[in-house]
Amino acid sequence: MSQQTARRGGAAWALVITSVAGFMAALDNLVVTTALPSIREDLGGGLHDLEWTVSAYTLTFAVLLMFGAALGDRFGRRRLFIAGITVFTGASAAAAMAPGIDSLIAARAVQGVGAAVMMPLTLTLLTAAVPVAKRGMAYGIWGAVNGLAVASGPLVGGTLTEHISWQWIFWLNVPLGLALLPLARLRLAESHGTGAPLDVPGTLLASGGLFGIVYGLVRGPADGWTGSLVLTGLFAGSALLAGFILYSTRAKNPMLPMRLFRSRAFAGINAASLLMFLGMFGSIFLLSQYMQGVLGYSPTEAGLRMLPWTGMPMLVAPIAGILADRIGGRPVVATGLFLQALGLGYMAVVATADASYGSQLPALIVSGIGMALYFAPASHLVMSSVRPSEQGIASGANNALREVGGALGIAVMASIFAAQGGYETGQTFVDGMRPALVTGSAVVALAGIAALLIPTRRHTERQATSAEPAPVLETAAH
C-alpha cells in the first residue's frame, strides 16, 4: 500500500512535527508587515521594494503548492517534506543575513519554494500517522497552531523588531528547522500517492496561471488595476488556468483530477476556504495598522490586544476537532464562519478614531471563536473528501486556494480602503477601513453558505464506501 500503516513514532510525534512545520510556513505570510519600516531603514529601497519582501514569498508559495504536493506523492512525502524544510531553513538564514533589499527579496522567494513543498505534505503525513477515530482532534491542534501563526504574524514580527531586530523574524525559523530535520527523518513513516508519473503540462499550466493571477492581485493596488503588467498577469493567468481545467478533464494522470470537484464535500470546503482567507487576511492587514497607526499602540501592544482574536484558536480549535468527530465537520465549520462574519461586521460598526479597547473586545472574541471553529474541521473535511492516495494533492489544492484567497483579500481590502479613505488622519483611515471590513464580513458569510452545501457526514461516508476501489490504485504504486 502507498500509505504505510506502521508508524515510527506514533501520532504524537507526527502532530508535533507537522504542526511546527506548518507554523513556520504560515507565520511567514504576514510576519514581515510590521518590520517593514526597520527593514527600509537598514537596507534602503523604495515602497515598491518593500512590498516585494511580502509579495515574493506569497507568489512562490501559492504558485508551487500543488506542484510540491505532486512531487511528494511521486517521490515520497517524507523525503520531500525534509527537502522542503531544508530549503526553507536555509532561505530563512539567508534572509536574516541579507546585505541589501534585492538579496532579501530573493531569499524570501526561495523561502516560499520551501514552504510550498513542506506545507501541503504536513496534512498528508499527519493523516497517515493518526488513527481515523482521533483525526478530528489531531486536525484541531494542527489547525489551531496554523491559525495562530497566520493571525499572530504581525505580533511576532512587531515584537521581535521592537525588542531585538528585524533579522530575528527570520532567525526564528533556523533552530526550529534544524530541530525538525532529524525528527522528521526518525519519527515519520514514508508514504506515496498513486505512483503515476508527474504531470508536466498540468504543472506548467497551473503554476503559470497561479503566478499570473497572484502577481496581478499583489501588484494591482500599487500599480493600478489598469496597468499593463497587472492586466497581462490577470488575463494570462486566467487563460492558463482555464487551459489547465480543460487539460485536466482529459489527461490520463492529471496533477489535480477535476472529478474531485464533482464531490460536493471537496468543492464546498475549498470554496469556503478561499472565501474565508479572502475575508480574514484583508481584515487582519487593516486592523493591525488601525491599532498602531490610529489608536497609537506599539506593535507589541497592538498584538497583545488582538490576542482574544488571534489566540483563540489555541483554546477552541481542539474542542472544535472533537465536536467534528461527534457531529460532523459541516455544522462546526459553518457556525465558525458565521461567527467570524458577525465579529468583523461588529468591528466595522464600533471602529472609530478614538475607540476604546472595551468596545472592540466583543468583536475580537466572537471573531476568534469563529476562526477557531473553522480551522480544525476544515482540514478534516478536505482530507476525508478524497481517497487516501489523493490526499496529498487535495491538501496542495486547498492550501493553494487559501493563499490565492489571502492575496485576493489584501488586494480587495486595500482597493476599497484607498477608494474610501486613506492615511491622512485617523478619521480618514477609519472611513476607508469600515467599508472594507463590511466587505470582509460579507465574504466570510458567503463562505459559511458554501460550507452549508457540504453533504452531511453520513452522505459523505456512503460516497466514500461506494468509491472503494482506491486500494487497487495504491497497490499499483508498488
Grid cell at residue 131:
488513527
**Which residue matches cell numbers 476599497?**
416
Window from 345-349, 405-409, 457-461 with minimum mean pLDDT: 457-461
C-alpha to C-alpha distance for 266 and 197, rounded to whole angstroms: 24
Residue 180 has pLDDT above 70, yes or no: yes
Looking at residue 351, its pLDDT comes to: 87
Q: How confident is the model at residue 45 (pLDDT cuts 50, 70, 90)?
A: low
Predicted confidence band of residue 21 (pLDDT cuts 50, 70, 90): confident
The tens digit of pLDDT for each residue in 65-99 reads 777 777 877 778 888 889 999 999 999 999 989 88
Gap between the Cα atoms of 295 and 367, Å rounded: 20
Rg value, the chain, Cα = 21
Q: How far apart are CA 247 and CA 251, in angstroms?
A: 6
Alpha-carbon distance of 243 to 17, in angstroms, equals 37
Residue linked to cell 474610501: 420
Label residue 265 by pLDDT band (50, 70, 90): confident
Residue type, 361: L
For 154-164, what is each residue's pLDDT tens digit? 677 777 877 88
Cross-strand pairs, 3: 191
For 268-300, how does the pLDDT look when each residue is reduced to its tens digit (9 = 90+)? Answer: 888 888 899 888 877 877 887 788 778 888 767
pLDDT for the residue 441: 93
pLDDT at residue 438 in the model: 93
Q: Is the pLDDT of residue 36 over 50?
A: yes
DSSP 31: T
Neighbours of 465 (CB within 10 A): 8
Distance CA 456, CA 385 (A): 12
- In which band, very low, low, confident or very high, does the pLDDT at 169 lie, cut at 50, 70 and 90? confident
| Global pTM value | 0.72
Per-residue pLDDT tens digits for 371-412: 878 876 777 787 777 776 666 677 767 777 777 777 677 777
